[in-house]
């Protein structure tokens, strides 16, 4: 998700599914202007409740000691991306953005919470998230604005090229050696069961219009922090900040 109406990364970026080549672990990250971070001391003392492996702590895109635009990275297990992700039957990714910060979960298909496909998701019962950036070290009202949800497959982008020798050298010497062969794209696609976005607000629920054969559903119900929900099953969406809406929870079922 990328912030709107301002030069990037003024309104922030939230990466829910991201990695390249033959990498085996999904990486979650935030990308911001200077000042947003994973709380290093709290992490060292085990005070941040998350199950992922923190790789970098500064979300600033030009942070000293980190690669350009690396952001504050949290790595998931090897069921979250690549071959084992497919072999395990895929799964669901969920993001909660509320007054406490930004959290991201990943569930294998067999572990997806049963209410996730309903109009009343309950993140409070999902256990510790894989990644959690608390407000104490990243004030989302300051570093994030309304977001656009984007699904993208990038061919030989900077990230993929920079780590190609570590993540794909057994297949080819260079990324560009692969992209010129049409048959390499036969299995390159997104297979998505549903995408849902919920907002917790005091107004009546509404939903974005659907396209591409998907249906749109919406309904009022008890949300993660009370109030009514609005739900949409296809984007793109403009997601307002929790300062305006109370809380946002969105997820992708693959």
Give residue 36's pLDDT: 97
50 domain-assigned: yes
Residue 92 counted as domain residue: yes
Instruction: For residue 162, count CB atoms less than 10 angstroms from its CB and return exposed for 0-12, middle for 13-18, buried for 19 or more.
Output: middle
Tell me, yes or no, whether 130 lies in a domain: yes
Segment (H or E) for 176: helix 176-179
Note the pLDDT tens digit of each residue in 4-28: 888 999 999 999 999 988 889 999 9
The answer to whether position 125 is within a domain reads yes
Burial of 241 (0-12, 13-18, 19+ CB in 10 A): middle
181, part of any domain: no
245 belongs to a structural domain: yes
Q: Which residues are catalytic?
A: 13, 18
Q: Whole-prediction pTM value? A: 0.80
156 within domain boundaries: no
Taking only the tens place, the pLDDT of each residue in 210-248 is: 333 323 333 332 222 233 333 333 344 444 444 433 455
Residues of the chain with pLDDT under 70: 41-47, 201-254
Residue 164 covered by a domain: no
Q: What is the pLDDT of residue 248?
A: 53
| C-alpha R_g of the chain | 18
203-222: buried (b, 16+ CB within 10 Å) or exposed (e) per residue? eebebbeeeeeeeeebeeee
- Say which CATH number the domain at 230 has: 2.60.120.200
pLDDT of amino acid 117: 76
Distance CA 85, CA 237 (A): 26
Number of domains in the chain: 1
Beta bridge partners of residue 165, listed in sequence order: none
Range of the domain at 144: 2-151+190-253
What's the CA gap between 142 and 236, in Å, rounded? 24
């Amino acid at each position: 998700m990328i912030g709107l109406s301002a030069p990037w990364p003024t309104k922030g970026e939230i990466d829910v599914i991201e990695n390249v080549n033959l990498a085996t672990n999904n990486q979650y990250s935030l990308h911001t202007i200077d000042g947003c971070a994973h709380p290093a001391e709290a992490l060292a003392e085990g005070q941040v409740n998350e199950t992922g492996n923190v790789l970098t702590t500064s979300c600033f895109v030009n942070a000293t000691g980190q690669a350009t635009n690396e952001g504050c990275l949290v790595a998931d297990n090897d069921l979250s991306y690549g071959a084992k992700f497919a072999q395990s039957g895929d799964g669901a990714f969920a993001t909660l953005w509320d007054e406490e910060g930004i959290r991201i979960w990943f569930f294998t298909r067999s572990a997806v919470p049963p209410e996730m496909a309903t109009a009343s998701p309950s993140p409070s019962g999902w256990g510790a998230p894989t990644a959690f950036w608390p407000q104490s070290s990243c004030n989302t009202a300051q570093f994030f604005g309304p977001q656009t949800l984007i699904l993208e497959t990038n061919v030989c982008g900077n990230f993929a090229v920079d780590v190609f020798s570590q993540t794909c050298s057994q297949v080819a010497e260079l990324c560009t050696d692969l992209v010129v062969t049409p048959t390499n794209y036969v299995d390159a696609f997104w297979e998505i069961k549903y995408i849902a976005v919920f907002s917790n607000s005091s107004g009546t629920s509404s939903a974005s219009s659907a396209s591409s054969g998907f249906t749109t559903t919406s309904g009022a119900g008890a949300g993660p922090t009370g109030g009514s929900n609005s739900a949409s099953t296809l984007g793109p969406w403009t997601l307002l900040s929790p300062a305006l809406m109370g809380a946002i929870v969105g997820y992708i079922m693959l």
